Chains A and B, each alone.
Chain A
Amino acid sequence: DAGITQSPRHKVTETGTPVTLRCHQTENHRYMYWYRQDPGHGLRLIHYSYGVKDTDKGEVSDGYSVSRSKTEDFLLTLESATSSQTSVYFCAIGRRLAGGPSTDTQYFGPGTRLTVL
C-alpha cells in the first residue's frame, strides 16, 4: 500500500461543468502523475508533477489543468467537462523500491470513474 487515495471515487457530471479530482499521498513522494484509462488505449499520461508548483504536460493534456500547492495533494481540473473526458482516472506516485535500483517505479491510487453526460 503506497498510501494513495483519490476522491471522489465516482462522479457523474454534465457537459460544460467544471470538475476537480483530488489525489492525496501520505508518504511525501516528490513525483505524482495523472493518467486516464480508456478501452483500447491503456493508460495515457495527462500531467505530472516533480515538486510543489512544478508540473509538466503529458501526451493527452488538452482540456486538463493541474495544481500542486502541497507535496501531498495533486489536483486535476477539467475546466469545462466534455463527453470525451468520460474515463477512469488514476493518480500515481513515483517511489524507489527498497533495496532496488536507483530509478523510480510508479504506484497507483484506486482510481476515479468519471462520467460526463
Chain B
Amino acid sequence: QQPVQSPQAVILREGEDAVINCSSSKALYSVHWYRQKHGEAPVFLMILLKGGEQKGHEKISASFNEKKQQSSLYLTASQLSYSGTYFCGTDPPARFGAGTRLTVKP
C-alpha cells in the first residue's frame, strides 16, 4: 500500500518553515525522501533507517518514528529552489506517497 502524505500542497514565503508528513500502514525498515521539479525526474534527498538518527540535507532534515511508522520532512528557512513536489517512499521496491507540492514565493 502507498504511504499517505500530508498536506497535499503548501505555499510559503521565502524564509518560512514547513513540515511534510508521511505515514505507512505497514512496518518500515527505511523511509526515502525525494524531490521532483516540474518536468524532471524525482531526485533522491535522504534515507532514514529504523533506529537511525535524524538526517539532514542543506536546510532540510527529516525524522523517522518506526513505532508509529511515520516520517516527517522539515524545511527550514525555505528558499525559492525548494519549490517542487516531495515524495516519501518505502523500502525498495518502493511504494510512494501521492506527493506534497511545495511552492516558495519571493
Instruction: For B30, list chain A residues within 8 Å (CB).
Output: 101, 103
Is A103 within 8 A of B47, CB to CB? yes
Q: Does B106 contact A (CB under 8 A)?
A: no
Is B49 within 8 A of A45, CB to CB? no
Q: Does A117 contact B (CB under 8 A)?
A: no
Q: Does B16 contact A (CB under 8 A)?
A: no
Docked complex Cα distance between A101 and B97 (Å): 22
Is B2 within 8 A of A111, CB to CB? no
**Residues of chain B in range 50-104 having any CB-CB distance to chain A below 8 Å:** 52, 87, 89, 91-99
Instruction: For A35, list chain B residues within 8 Å (CB).
Output: 96
Is B95 within 8 A of A59, CB to CB? yes
**Option from A33, A42, A59, A108 in Cβ contact (under 8 Å) with B98:** A42
Q: Whole-angstrom distance from the CB of B27 to the nearest CB of chain A? A: 14
Kindly name the residue among A58, A101, A105 whose own CB sees the greatest number of chain B CB atoms within 10 A: A105
Docked complex Cα distance between A14 and B29 (Å): 42
Pair count A-B, CB < 8 A? 62
Instruction: For B42, list chain A residues within 8 Å (CB).
Output: 43, 90, 108
Task: List 29 A-B residue pairs with CB atoms under 8 Å apart, sorted by A's residue number.
Answer: A31-B92, A33-B92, A33-B94, A40-B98, A41-B98, A42-B87, A42-B96, A42-B97, A43-B42, A43-B87, A43-B94, A43-B96, A48-B93, A59-B2, A90-B42, A94-B92, A100-B47, A101-B30, A101-B49, A103-B29, A103-B92, A104-B92, A105-B47, A106-B89, A107-B44, A108-B42, A108-B43, A109-B41, A111-B41
User: Measuring CB to CB, which residues of chain B are less than 8 angstroms from any residue of chain A?
Assistant: 2, 29-30, 32, 40-44, 47, 49, 52, 87, 89, 91-99
Extra inter-chain contacts (17) besides given A43-B89, A103-B29, A108-B41, CB under 8 Å: A31-B93, A33-B93, A33-B94, A42-B87, A42-B96, A43-B42, A44-B2, A45-B93, A45-B95, A59-B2, A100-B47, A104-B92, A105-B44, A106-B32, A106-B94, A109-B41, A110-B40
